[in-house]
Chains A and B, each alone.
Chain A
Amino acid sequence: MTEQNPILSVEGLCVGFRTAAGFADTVHDVSFSIGHRKTLCIVGESGSGKSVTCQAILGLLAGNGAQTGGRILFEGHDLGAMSETELEAIRGRGIGMVFQDPLGSLNPVHTVGRLLDEALLLHTQLNRSDRHVRSIELLRLVRIPDPEQRLKAYVHQFSGGMAQRVMIAIALACRPQLLIADEPTTALDVTIQAQILELLNHLKSELGMSLLFITHDLGVVAEMADDVVVMRHGRVVEAGPLTQVFNTPASDYTKSLLDAVARLDTPSPAYRWRDVS
């Protein structure tokens, strides 16, 4: 897992939240690193701290949350030591983010063109017409058909899969070196999920990005990951290369997760007639 020159390394991260019932430690001593052009999957069930970890990386923790320990290094620079302005520049240009629910994450009152334009306006020096050209390029990059027309549409006019492509396009607007995707296909149908996973893999190699992929779906992990981090109750239970974690899991928890996946190669139940009372 230790890379020579990781793009992102998280060292001993601890995160806590102030709640009515006192201070709650949510993430304990989490460490991992992602190499250039690699995909790291964080997998875990709800409450495992996987989403909080990536919110901490982006400095997007809720108001009552705080990083209570550890460091987050992006290309060797400590994000914790940066000002809000410097962080703003990293988000977007250095790190892009894609969330689970595209319809809930994109502003419904603006057209897709305006959403893309806003991202480009904030993070680039491009003038208006160049931004328009770049917006069309981005929609083409995420394989949205008829991009000139689609720029004028609102997000609610898109299907779930197409809206997720729009969110990816916005995240890619400033050519980030790392894309963080938090359950990006969970809300999608399986055939659409396959399209988005394929698109992400294609973009990763085309743009030379690294991917931090958060999911609860072990099938998606097997499909995407170079390295895997398994989290439970805010701690790292197991970490390592994909084949090692899947073929020879060291922890009982990882084993139980892998066993819980319904296998396609086991026969379905056999039917016998019974009489109803």
Chain B
Amino acid sequence: MMAVNREPLLQVSNLKRYYGGSSSWLRAGRTIKAVEDVSFFVRPGETFGVVGESGCGKTTTGRMIVGLDRPTAGSINFAGEELTTLSAEEWRIRRRKMQMIFQNPLSALDPRMTIRRQIREPLDLHDIGIPNERDAKVEELLDAVSLQPAMADRYPHQISGGQAQRAVIARALGLDPDLVVCDEPVSALDLSVQARVTALLQDLQERRGMAYVFISHDLRIVKKLSHRVAVMYLGQIVEVGDTDDVYRQPLHPYTRALIAAIPDMAPNHRSKRTTLQGDPPSPAAPPSGCHFHTRCHMARESCAREAPVLREIGGAHQVRCHFAEEFAS
């Protein structure tokens, strides 16, 4: 285990985000629990993967970390400071050290600004460096993400999706962040471009020591990049641990189903796998007890009544299932 004095960079505790549910009797009971009691930590220089299907709360979690959404309850501790109680102005200053990269680079860039201005803008806003050295800094950032200097004078519509995502990464790097929340950063890109952008993210982490919260539905990419991984289902973390442990020996039936659903690249391995039946239930009306029991092949009577807690099974591997031991042997 790690030394005691080493604090995680980010500690999220009992984070909740509920939407709707106004006090009006007309809308009573329509609360959507997008994020329900999520806790995890991220160490400096670490990639923490968050996987799950649409509507599991992974994006909402990421947005709350960087302050784009306010938690309903819970705490976010970043570099020893509690963020949830900060005012909007204080947030703006703290955000320097935590940046976000979105799925669609073209909507994350301003269509009316050149790439140079977009990358320079945060430097101006946060007053970083001397104003007339900032253009040189922009060139340096372009170089760090392997974009030609000529790209600086282009507008977003004049460059490809992969180049636009590099520009977004360069803009985030300008503030020298300690943590970057990446929300599906390569999902919209072609396979070969995906591979280059993920290699860039890894290389930048190696050189600058940034931590990533890497949110994705793509289990292959998460496996490749993450040191640790959390699996989310209907607003809850159902399993978390070192990536290799989770993939090698998934302890939650949902994680097992997710991993089994990844198409196998070996053409001769076409297996008769057990596919998960049905759709995920609505977060507005999550099932009682264990949220997963309606789709779980090993659900028992008690699963509908008793909600399992996230508990440790062997080292740092945690799982939210009553019967996880049956997989652990």
Does A269 contact B265, Cβ atoms closer than 8 Å? no
Judge whether A271 and B276 touch: CB under 8 Å. no
Cβ of B244 under 8 Å from chain A: yes
Kindly state whether residue A195 has any CB partner on chain B within 8 Å: yes
Task: Flag whether A19 is at the interface (Cβ < 8 A).
Answer: no
Which residues from 269 to 312 on chain B have a C-beta closer than 8 Å to any C-beta of chain A?
Answer: 270, 273, 275-277, 279
- Which residues on the A side are within 8 Å of B221 (C-beta)? 262
Q: Roughly how many angstroms separate A276 CA and B78 CA in the complex, as a whole number?
A: 12
* Interface bin, chain A: 35 or more
* CB of B195, distance to nearest CB on chain A (Å): 4
A203 at interface, CB cutoff 8 A: no
Complex: A267 Cα to B247 Cα, angstroms: 10
Cβ-based interface call for B217 (8 A): yes
Closest-CB distance, A251 to chain B (whole angstroms): 14
Of the candidate stretches A82-90, A97-105, A241-249, the one touching chain B is A241-249
Tell me whether A222 and B192 are in contact (CB under 8 A): no
Query: Which residues of chain B are within 8 angstroms of A93 by Cβ–Cβ distance?
Result: none
Within 188-240 of B, Cβ neighbours of A (below 8 Å) are at 190-195, 198, 202, 209, 217, 219-221, 223-228
* A260 close to B192 (CB less than 8 A): yes
Q: Which of B45, B47, B242, B257 contacts A191 (CB 8 A)?
A: B257
- Asked if A267 and B190 make an inter-chain contact with CB atoms under 8 angstroms apart, the answer reads no
Interface string of B33-72 (1 = CB under 8 A from A): 0000000000111110000011000000000000000000
Smallest CB–CB gap between B250 and chain A, Å?
A: 12
The verdict on B144 contacting chain A, using a C-beta distance below 8 Å, is no
Neighbour of A222 across the interface among B9, B54, B217, B265, CB < 8 A: B265
Q: Is the CB of B223 within 8 A of A264?
A: yes
Q: Is B110 an interface residue (CB 8 A)?
A: no
Closest Cβ–Cβ distance, residue B297 to chain A (whole Å): 13
Q: How far is the CA of A243 from the CA of B178 in the complex (A)?
A: 45
Is B6's beta carbon under 8 Å from chain A?
A: yes
Known A218-B191, A276-B79; contact A197-B263, beta-carbon cutoff 8 A: yes
A207 to B223, CA, bound (A): 38
State whether A268 touches B244 (Cβ < 8 A): yes
Interface bracket on B:
35 or more
Q: Which residue of B lies closest to A276 (CB)?
A: B44
Most chain A CB within 10 A, of B224, B263, B275, is at B263
> Which of A225, A243, A273 meets B45, CB within 8 Å?
A273
Shortest beta-carbon distance from A136 to chain B in Å:
20
Q: Which of B47, B259, B265, B277 counts the most A-chain CB atoms under 10 A from its CB?
A: B265
Is the pair A260, B195 in contact by a Cβ cutoff of 8 Å? yes
A243 neighbours in B (Cβ, 8 Å): 267-268
Q: What separation, in Å, do the CA atoms of A220 and B265 have in the docked complex?
A: 8
Whole-angstrom distance between the Cβ of B1 and the nearest chain A Cβ: 12
Distance of A218 Cα from B263 Cα, bound (Å): 9
B128 interface residue per 8 A CB criterion: no
**Shortest Cβ distance from A176 into chain B, in angstroms?**
24
Cβ–Cβ contact A45 & B190, under 8 A: yes
Report A194 CB to chain B, min CB distance, Å.
4
B324 part of interface (Cβ distance < 8 Å): no
Residue interface bits A249-275, CB-to-B below 8 A is 1, else 0 = 000000011111111101111111111
A66 at the interface (CB under 8 A from B): no
Q: Which residues of A contact B194 (CB under 8 A)?
A: 260
Q: Are B224 and A256 in contact (CB under 8 A)?
A: no
A217 within 8 Å of B (CB atoms):
yes
Q: Contact: B267 with A262, CB < 8 Å?
A: no
Given A216-B190, A263-B220, 12 extra CB contacts under 8 A: A194-B260, A194-B261, A194-B276, A222-B264, A222-B267, A225-B267, A246-B266, A264-B219, A269-B227, A273-B44, A273-B45, A274-B45
Give A residues with C-beta under 8 Å from B. 45-46, 159-162, 189-195, 197-198, 216-220, 222-223, 225, 242-243, 246-247, 256-264, 266-277
A-B interface, 5 closest residue pairs, ranked by CB to CB distance from nearest? A219-B263, A268-B243, A260-B195, A189-B53, A262-B224
List the interface of chain B (C-beta within 8 A of A). Answer: 2-3, 6, 9, 43-47, 53-54, 79, 178, 190-195, 198, 202, 209, 217, 219-221, 223-228, 242-244, 247, 257-268, 270, 273, 275-277, 279
A-B contact pairs, 19 of them (CB 8 A): A45-B193, A189-B217, A190-B217, A192-B279, A193-B263, A194-B261, A216-B190, A218-B191, A218-B265, A222-B265, A223-B270, A247-B267, A262-B224, A264-B223, A268-B227, A268-B247, A271-B45, A273-B6, A273-B43
